[in-house]
Structures are given as C-alpha cells and as structure tokens.
Structure 1
Amino acid sequence: MGMSAGGAKSGGGRRGRRGGRSRSGAISEINVTPLVDVMLVLLIIFMVAAPMMTVGVPIDLPETQAKAMNSDTQPITVSVNPEGQIFLQETPITIDEILPKLQAIATTGYNERIYVRGDTAAAYGVVMKVMARISSAGYKNLGLVTLQEQEQ
C-alpha cells in the first residue's frame, strides 16, 4: 500500500469548506437585483400610463348637459367614426361581427354596461344599427357617450 506524496494539486492535500473548489471558478448563482429594479420601474411606468390609455379611436363626440358618470372598471366600448367604421374597443370590426364578439366577451353575463361612442358626423342609422345589434346580443345596459356642453 503506497501513499502519494504529491502537492496540493495531486488530491492528497487538505480540502477547504467547499469541497475542493477553487475561488477562481465561476459563480453559479443568479443576481436578481437588477431584474427586480427593472421590473419595479416598469410597474411604476405602467401604473402611471394605464389611466391615459382609454379608447384610442379619434371621435368628435356630441355635447350634452348630462352629468359625468363614474366608472371604476374599463368598460366595453363600441365606437362609430365619421366614415361609418365600427370599432370594438380599438379593433375595427364589421356590423356582422358585433353579435358574436360581444357574446364571446360577456364576462359577468349580459348585465355589463356597454358604451356606444358615435361621432357627430356619423350617420344616425349606423349608430342605431350598432345599438340594435348590441341589444340583440342580450345586453340591456347601453350608454351613449357624449361630452358636457361648455357654458358660454
């Protein structure tokens, strides 16, 4: 039975606490601090920007004397622009697509409020057709969106 009389590299030397790994090796741990910092900054940015991102279809709404409505959630909005194009939220759709799309997104049944936004230059008949389709989908809480009249 022989013994080896080698130096530290031969394996016969004393091992440290880490099982013989040298300190110059790669660290296998992931530093998540920069990731957390970036995620917190993005969270703050989205919290500030989210209220500004309502409906993006440019429409010239009519003015009325009605009071403003308070709404805590993002409502379902159907818009009609001056050319007669119809938008569900910001997505352009045809009048035939209104019924199946609204039935597909009914989350709390058909008691959800749907807002109809019609441009002042939009044809009255198109807006009424849209409202009829929404009503035939089963929704009963329809609201027309207008701007408050300015006092002169």
Structure 2
Amino acid sequence: MGLSGGGRRRGRGRAGAPMSEINVTPLVDVMLVLLIIFMVTAPLLKAAVPVELPDSRAKAMAEEANQVTITIQTDGTVYLEEDALAPGELADRLAAIPDGPDGKKPLVTLRADKALDYGRVMDVMGELNRAGFNAISLVTGTGGGISPGSGQ
C-alpha cells in the first residue's frame, strides 16, 4: 500500500551507496559566525583590571589605536594599562608616555569603580590634565561603553 516510486531511489548512484562528497557550506557558515563573534568580543576583553563600572546610556565611541587606559579600583589603586602604580607615581609615568604620530598626546580612557569617591577620580583627572592629557574618555558599563569627556 505504500508508495514505492517504482523501486528506484532518487539521487546519485545506487541505493545504499555512501555519499562520496562532503558539503562544507555549513562548516563555512559556522566558522564565519564564530569569526564575527570573536571580532565583536575581542575589544571587550582588553580590560584586565576588574572594576565595577557605573551604568550609562551614552552612545559608544570608536576605539582608537593610540590610547592609554587608566583604571581606578575600589580601594583607590591606580593602574596604568595593567601595571599597578604606587601613590605619587602617576605623574612620572604619564610624563614618560610618548606623543602620538601627529604630535598630540594619546587619548586616555579612564575606568573608575562606581563605588569610588568622586574626589579620587577628580584627583586622577587633575594629574592627567597637568601632564597635558586633555582628551579623556570615561568608560561606563552597560549602554555602550565610552562617553566623551574633557579633563579641563
């Protein structure tokens, strides 16, 4: 009572023969999706010092190649990139940072824990301004990332 289709199987070769071709299209699709995921998440993994960033609804800015990251943890410890700085060492380390190819100081991204005293953040911003770093971006948590600011 079943439909047999004339006893022949549609497709290539004889019935029951294994396929000799591998379809790589799904593999390529999966690899492209993984590549896109890694490209999107790689910039987010840059921050090595863990801090609890405040939330903001500011629009995200593009990341520049010539930038310096300063992080302030809850206990007030200041990090230049991933190096912890002793109290009073920030000014010397900022002076040692070379200017960019255009002769300007690099962009500074400031990551400060949301539980920090506002005065502590302003102390660091004052040191940045005194060292000639006037382009300071404040990094936030959700909502997109970096909000433009000025150290003046």
Residue 71 of structure 1: CA displacement?
1.2
With 129-138 and 106-115 compared, the bigger mean Cα shift is at: 106-115
Residue 110 of structure 1: CA displacement?
4.1
Aligned partner letter, 2:117: A
Question: 2:141 and 2:130 mapped to 1: Cα distance?
Answer: 27
Aligned to 1:124: 118
Residue 65 of structure 1: CA displacement?
1.3
Paired residue total: 104
Aligned partner letter, 1:133: E
Question: 2:111 and 2:46 mapped to 1: Cα distance?
Answer: 13
* Cα distance change on mapping 1:138 and 1:74 into 2, 3 Å: closer
State the identity %: 32
Question: 2:87 and 2:104 mapped to 1: Cα distance?
Answer: 19
Residue 53 of structure 1: CA displacement?
4.8
* Cα distance change on mapping 1:125 and 1:92 into 2, 3 Å: same
Aligned partner letter, 1:92: A
Q: TM-score, normalised by structure 1?
A: 0.60
Aligned with 1:59 (options 23, 33, 51): 51
Question: 1:106 and 1:138 mapped to 2: Cα distance?
Answer: 12
Aligned with 2:129 (options 125, 135, 142): 135
* Cα distance change on mapping 1:54 and 1:149 into 2, 3 Å: closer
Aligned with 1:105 (options 97, 108, 126): 97
Residue 112 of structure 1: CA displacement?
1.5
Q: List gaps (5 residues or longer) in structure 2.
A: 1-37, 145-152
* Cα distance change on mapping 1:126 and 1:110 into 2, 3 Å: farther
Question: 1:110 and 1:103 mapped to 2: Cα distance?
Answer: 13
The CA RMSD over aligned residues, in Å, is 2.5
Q: TM-score, normalised by structure 2?
A: 0.60
Query: Is the Cα contact below 8 Å between 2:53 and 2:141 reproduced in 1?
Result: yes
* Cα distance change on mapping 1:95 and 1:138 into 2, 3 Å: farther
- Shift >4 Å, 4+ stretches: 47-53
Q: List gaps (5 residues or longer) in structure 1.
A: 1-46
Aligned with 2:79 (options 72, 87, 101): 87
* Cα distance change on mapping 1:136 and 1:72 into 2, 3 Å: closer
* Cα distance change on mapping 1:71 and 1:149 into 2, 3 Å: closer
Larger Rg: 1
| Aligned-partner SS, 1:99 | helix
